[in-house]
Amino acid sequence: MKNLALHWKILIGMVLGVAFAILMVQFSWGSDFIKDWIKPFGKMFINALKLIAVPLILASLIKGVSDLKDISKLSKMGGKTIATYIVTTVFAVSIGLVVVNVVQPGKSISEETRTELLENYKEDASKSKDAALKQKDSGPLQALQDLIPDNIVSAAGDNGNMLQIIVFAVFFGIGLILIPADKSKPVKDFFDGFNEVILKLIDLIMLAAPVGVFALLATLVAESPSIDLFQALLWYAFSVVLGLAIMIAFYAIIVKIFTKKSPSFFFKGISPAQLLAFSTSSSAATLPVTMERVEEHLGVEEEVASFVLPIGATINMDGTSLYQAVAAVFIAQTFGMDLSFGAQLGIIVTATLASIGSAAVPGAGMVMLVIVLGQAGIPEAGLALIFAIDRPLDMCRTTVNVTGDAAVSMIIANSFGKLREPQVKNWDDNYPKK
């Protein structure tokens, strides 16, 4: 077991959790045993994810924004790069919302199962209902007013205030850019180190993922044994994959439009980086291969690739943003919540901004989903519904993240006349030696 990759351990934990629960519910005391002795471990795992959300957004976003100081040297390229990344992210979230509203995976759950879920998570659902009523009674500019916290410590004490945390982190990062380098360096060094600590904590939390998944799935089966819940999960996974496939096609189209390069040229050039992203679920770990493929196989000059791609690995998480939109609406549908148009616009804004601070490591997307759920007033307990199948979807969305970075780098390079014929002509040589 020690040598198994984490995603295999998670899948094993998922299967064992389901099998264990099916066995235990055959006994009269089985459900109570799971509730008393298994469920707490799942709850602790969810709490650990929620615990790390605020520190992660502060550390990653402040670091990400402050790292953009190179824009002072390449202001035109920097502005165009960030604007393009934001446009593709908003498009990705919008695609996710369209797909999940058309497919409606959560609607396939029967009223009986939905009633059971609401009963099991009635505390979270009650909080969400109260928040929704409060939102309904507020004025037209309340959402804009709520962006600015009057106390950052108080705002950081509630995961439902994540937009306020994001605004503060961006504001703080801009302040670091604007002050002299000798003054900002100690603060920036602190947040660089802080960010590394948070990423390591995520690694440690993810080590407990197999146990957490086991507990979550066992509890889910014991409390809601209806088969339609698992059918809904399959429809949810289908919705995510469909949305990601649309994004892949979108990248091919914009590359064709803006660079006149064929989709086959683009995908042959980037495919090894896509495969590595799929296997590692990490944009950061894939970055060296992405840069090599983009420079040598897609013809982007190093000056552009070395600037655009690292920024992309930090702020461009199209696949993750799309997944967060689908997951949030799916969980809301599962609990019988009808999200208004305004609430879904809020998801677009929150998912776009949260993606800027999303760490390029496995499992960070699930942590960032806590932010989206909290802001939309959706029960965070719904994470239990989707975590078991998150890992394979994480692999898929990381592939989309990397593909988006490559597509944008080609578009930016072409706009500055920095797109040339590729150095490597042999497409079968996936890992050329320099």
Q: What pLDDT is attached to residue 98?
A: 93
* Distance between CA atoms of residues 318 and 399, nearest Å: 10
For 238-254, how does the pLDDT look when each residue is reduced to its tens digit (9 = 90+)?
999 999 999 999 999 99
Determine the pLDDT at residue 434.
39
The pLDDT confidence band at residue 398, using thresholds 50, 70 and 90, is confident
Longest dimension (CA), the chain: 72
Confidence band, pLDDT 50/70/90 cuts, at residue 433: very low
For the segment 66-83, the average pLDDT, to the nearest whole number, is: 68
Tell whether the model's pLDDT for residue 400 goes beyond 70.
yes
Amino acid at 14: M
Q: Of 61-75, 214-228, 248-262, 296-310, where does mean pLDDT reach its minimum?
A: 61-75
Query: Rounded to whole angstroms, how far apart are CA atoms 10 and 209?
Result: 6
- The pLDDT, as a whole number, for residue 46 is 73
Chain segment 31-58, per-residue pLDDT in tens: 899 989 998 998 888 788 778 767 877 8
31 exposed, middle or buried (CB, 10 Å; 0-12, 13-18, 19+)?
middle
Three-class secondary structure of residue 423 per DSSP: coil
- Phi, psi at residue 73, to the nearest 5°? -90, -35
171-178's contacts with Cβ under 8 Å and 24+ in sequence apart are: 172/62, 172/65, 173/61, 173/62, 173/63, 173/64, 173/65, 173/66, 173/68, 174/65, 176/62, 176/65, 176/66, 177/65, 177/66, 177/68, 177/69, 177/72
Bigger pLDDT: 293 vs 220 = 293
Question: CA 160 to CA 19: how far, in whole Å?
Answer: 35
**Distance (Å, whole) CA 86 – CA 318:** 9
The pLDDT of residue 38 is 92
Output phi, psi for 419, to 5 deg.
Answer: -105, 120
Alpha carbons 323 and 340: distance in angstroms, whole number? 19
Binned at pLDDT 50, 70 and 90, residue 139 comes out as low
Q: DSSP 3-state assignment of 429?
A: coil
- The fold of 6-415 is Proton glutamate symport protein (1.10.3860)
Residue spans per domain, the chain: 6-415
Higher pLDDT, 414 or 46: 414
**Which of the residue ranges 140-144, 173-177, 284-288 would you say has the lowest mean pLDDT?**
140-144
Q: Which letter does DSSP use for residue 387 in this model? A: G
- In tens, the pLDDT along 357-393 reads 555 555 566 666 776 777 677 776 677 677 667 767 8
22 vs 40: CA distance, rounded Å: 18
Amino acid 202: pLDDT: 75
What is the average pLDDT value for the chain, to the nearest integer? 78
Write down the pLDDT at residue 69: 59
